[in-house]
A and B are shown apart, each in its own frame.
Chain A
Amino acid sequence: MSADIDRSSPMTLTTEQDPRQPGRPPAPPAPAAPADPGQEQTHGRAARLRAALGTLAAHPGLLLAVLYLALILAWTLAPSLFAGTDPLRTDPAASLTPPGADHWFGTDNLGRDLYTRVVHGTRTSLTAALIAVSLSLLAGTVLGVLSGYLGGWVDQTLMRCVEVLIVIPGLLLSLAVVSILGFGVTNVAIAVGISGIPAFARVIRAEVLRIRSSVYFRAAVTSGTRTPVILLRHVLPNASQPVLVLAALEIGGAVLSVSALSFLGYGAAPPAPELGAMVSQGRDYISTAWWLTTFPGLAIALIVLCANRIGRALERTGVR
C-alpha cells in the first residue's frame, strides 16, 4: 500500500510541493512512471544492484541509515577492532570523567570507558534483537504455513492461539515469559521473539492463502507434486518478500523491547554491558553525569531509527 498523492487534487497542489521529504517515505512515483528504480526491469543481479544503488543515491537519509547500520554490524562482529579496551576494566582514578579526548563518551562511576561499553552493549542488544526476530520469523512461518495450508480446524485453532497472544500487550507478554524462563539476555531475546510471533503468523497465513488461489499452485497440485516440494518450491519463496520486509521493520521494535526489559533489570547481569541496562545504571547519576544515560540512550534510538528507515524503504520498493 502506498501513501501516494494525487497531484491533480486541488488540496494537495497547495500543500504538497516537495515530494522528497526526509523523515518519512517520499511519495513513490505513480506505477506507470519509468524513473522508479524499483520498477525497472530487474533482470540479473547487476541491474538489481544498480537499481538499489540508485535508490540509495536518491535518498541521503536512507544512505546514512545503511552506513550507520553497517558500522553497527561491524561493532557487533568485531567489537575489539573499534574499542580496544576491556568494557569491564575499571579505573577508579578516572571515575565519572566527562566526555573528552581520552574517553570519547566519558567514564562511569567505576571509571569504565563508556564508548567501549556502548560498542559492546550495542553488540549485546543487537544480537538479542536479531535472535528475537529470527525466532518470531521461524515460529511465525511454521504457524502461518500450517494455518494457511491446512485450513479447517487447524487454522481455526492456531489463529485463536495467535489471537490470545495479540490480546496481551507485547511488553507485558515478554515480561510474563521472562518471569517464567528466568532472567538473562538470551531469555529476554526469546521472550521478545515470542511476542513477535503473531504478526509473522498472520502475514504468512495471508500470503499462503493468496498463493493457494494462484494458477501455479493449482498446477503443481494437479501434476502430483508432493506437499513438501510444493511448500519449499512454490509457497515459501513466493511468501518470503513481505515477511522479510516485516522482519526488517521488527528489528527496530525488538531492539526497543530488549533494551526496555534490560532497563527494568531482567536482561544482562550487572557487569556485562547492555544498552538498556546502561541507561538504568546511569539513572543514579542523572544530575551529575548526563553522559551515562545520554550516550547509551542515543545509541538505542539511532539503531531503531535506522532499522525503521531501511524497513520502510524495503516496504516501498519490495512488495508487489
Chain B
Amino acid sequence: MKVLVLLDVAADVRVAPERDPRSGRVREDRLVREIDPAGARALDMALALTSDRPNGEVIVVHAGPAENETFLREALARGCRKAIRVWDGEVAAARTAGKAAVLAAAAQAVAPDLVLAGDRGVIDSGGQVGVLVAARAGMPCVTKAGAAALSADAHRITVTRELERGFREKVEASLPVVVTVAAGAAGEAAQAAPVTAGARLAALEQDIPVWTLADLGVIPGTVRDADRPLVAGRPHPPRPRLQPVAPPDPTLPAFDRILGLVQGTVKAREGKVVRRPAGEVAQEVFEVLRDEGWLDHLKPGPDGPGAAPGGAPRRDR
C-alpha cells in the first residue's frame, strides 16, 4: 500500500507579514513558511491510513528549492518512509498548471496506490493542483476530503467530502485515485501528532533524492506549455429544449396552490449512480445530455449555433 503525498509550502498566515515601508508590498524574503495547512492535513491522513497496515508506506514529494528540504524532513520525522524533492530551472518558474505537470510525472514514476494533496494552498488558493495532477496522470480524483477510510483489501477508499455551507458527502472510489484534502475549519489545521526527538534526528540523517525533469522524463518546454494561459472562446451557454410549465391544479386547496408557486414547478431530479468503467460512465453522461437537449447548440443545422430558440424539435422523455 503506497501512498504519495504532494506537499506544498506556504506562508504562515498567523505571523504578520513584514512590509517594505516604501512600497507597502509584502517582503517575500521575510515570510515565515510552513507546510501548507491543507497539505499537512493530507500528510496526517496518509499516515493514519497506513498506520495499521504492515505493508503501508507514505512517500512525500515536493517541487521546490533546497531550503524547503526542512519541510520534507519534518514529514519524514512524522513517519513518512521516503521524501523526494523535484527541482530544476524550469520548475522554479512553474505556475499552477506547470507544477501539476511536474508532480504528475513524479506520481507516475512512484506509481502509488493513492495520491493525497492539499485541496488549496494559502497563497495559491485555486485548489487546482491536485485536480490537474489527476488529469495529467490519468487518475480519477475526489476533492475536498475531510476524512477517508480504506477498505479491508485496500482496493477501495471511502471519502467524506466537506462541501459548501457545512454539507458533507460520502464518495467511494477504486484505487488508484487522487484525493485532495480540505484544510478544515480555522484552528483545526495544524494539529499534527507529536514528533519525538529521535524521529527528528533520524530524519536529519535521511537522504532526500532530488529529481530533475530529465530524471522524470519530462520533455523540455512541457512545464512552460502547461502554464501558457488558456485562450477562451466566445461563451455559448447551452440551452435545454423548451419545457412549458403546466398551469397549477385549481382544484387543490389554496394553501397547496401557494406552495406550488413558492416551490416552483421544476421538480428536482433524482440522482442516479452509475457503477461502470470510466468510458461507459462518460457515454452515459453524454447520452443524458444529448437526450435532454443540452448539446443541441453544438449540432449543425436548425438546432445548432445561431438557430432560433424554440426551433428545436421536442422529444418525449
The answer to whether A and B interact is no
